[in-house]
Chains A and B, each alone.
Chain A
Amino acid sequence: MQEPKKSAGQEPASGVEHFSCTLKRHDLHFARRRCRILQINTGLLCDLACKHCHLEAGPQRREIMSAETMQEVVAFAHRGNFEMIDVTGGAPELVPGIAGFLSELADCAPHVLLRSNLTALGGKAREELLATLCRHRIALVVSFPSLREAQVEAQRGSGVWEKSLAMLNRLNELGYGRADSGLELHLAVNPGGAFLPANQESMEKRYRRELEKRWGIVFNRLFTLTNAPLGRFKHWLEKSGNYQGYMRKLAESFNPEAVPAVMCREQISVSWDGTVFDCDFHLAAGICQGEKRTQVRDLPGPPPEGTPIATADHCYACTAGAGFT
Chain B
Amino acid sequence: MDTYYDPRDLNLFESIGKDAPELAKKFFDYYGAVFTEGALSEREKALIALAVAHTVQCPYCIDAYTQACLEKGSDLEEMSEAMHVAAAIRGGASLVHGVQMRKIAEKLSL
Q: Interface on A for B, CB 8 Å cutoff?
A: 146-148, 150-151, 189, 191-193, 195-199, 202-203, 206
Flag if B70 contacts A202 (CB, 8 Å): no
Task: Give the distance in Å from the alpha carbon of A197 to the alpha carbon of B41 in the complex.
Answer: 16
Flag if A202 contacts B67 (CB, 8 Å): no
Flag if B67 contacts A195 (CB, 8 Å): yes
What is the number of contacts between chain A and chain B, taking CB atoms within 8 Å? 37
Task: Give the distance in Å from the alpha carbon of A198 to the alpha carbon of B75 in the complex.
Answer: 11
Residues of chain B lying within 8 A (CB to CB) of residue A206 = 43, 73
Flag if A195 contacts B70 (CB, 8 Å): yes
Please name the residue on chain A nearest to B73 by beta carbon: A198
Residues of chain B lying within 8 A (CB to CB) of residue A189 = 73
Pick from B37, B67, B70, B73: contact of A203, CB under 8 Å: B73
Query: Main secondary structure on chain B at its contact with chain A?
Result: helix
Query: Main secondary structure on chain A at its contact with chain B?
Result: loop
9 A-B interface contacts by CB (under 8 A): A146-B75, A147-B75, A151-B76, A189-B73, A191-B70, A197-B73, A199-B72, A202-B73, A203-B73
Residues of chain B lying within 8 A (CB to CB) of residue A147 = 75
Flag if A151 contacts B71 (CB, 8 Å): no
Q: What's the least CB distance linking B7 to chain A, in Å? A: 10
Flag if A197 contacts B71 (CB, 8 Å): yes
Please name the residue on chain A nearest to B74 by beta carbon: A198
Pick from B37, B71, B76, B77: contact of A198, CB under 8 Å: B71
Task: Give the distance in Å from the alpha carbon of A199 to the alpha carbon of B75 in the complex.
Answer: 15
Q: What's the least CB distance linking A257 to chain B, in Å? A: 19
Residues of chain A lying within 8 A (CB to CB) of residue B42 = 199, 202
Flag if B41 contacts A202 (CB, 8 Å): yes
Please name the residue on chain A nearest to B41 by beta carbon: A202
Q: What's the least CB distance linking B67 to chain A, in Å? A: 6
Q: What's the least CB distance linking B68 to chain A, in Å? A: 9
Residues of chain A lying within 8 A (CB to CB) of residue B77 = 148, 150
Residues of chain B lying within 8 A (CB to CB) of residue A148 = 75, 77
Which 9 residue pairs spanning A and B have beta carbons closest together? A198-B73, A195-B70, A198-B72, A195-B71, A148-B75, A196-B71, A203-B73, A151-B75, A202-B41
Task: Give the distance in Å from the alpha carbon of A208 to the alpha carbon of B87 in the complex.
Answer: 31
Q: What's the least CB distance linking A317 to chain B, in Å? A: 14
Q: Which of B41, B42, B75 has the most CB of A within 10 A?
A: B75
Residues of chain B lying within 8 A (CB to CB) of residue A146 = 75
Flag if B43 contacts A202 (CB, 8 Å): yes
Q: What's the least CB distance linking A189 to chain B, in Å? A: 8
Task: Give the distance in Å from the alpha carbon of A198 to the alpha carbon of B70 in the complex.
Answer: 8
A198 and B43 in contact, given A148-B77, A151-B75, A203-B73 (Cβ under 8 angstroms): yes
Q: What's the least CB distance linking A166 to chain B, in Å? A: 22
Flag if B71 contacts A202 (CB, 8 Å): no
Q: What's the least CB distance linking A211 to chain B, in Å? A: 14
Task: Give the distance in Å from the alpha carbon of A195 to the alpha carbon of B75 in the complex.
Answer: 12
Task: Give the distance in Å from the alpha carbon of A203 to the alpha carbon of B75 in the complex.
Answer: 13
A198-B43, A202-B37, A202-B72 known; 17 new pairs, CB 8 Å cut-off, are A146-B75, A148-B75, A150-B76, A150-B77, A151-B76, A189-B73, A191-B70, A191-B71, A192-B70, A192-B75, A193-B70, A196-B71, A197-B73, A198-B71, A198-B73, A202-B73, A206-B43
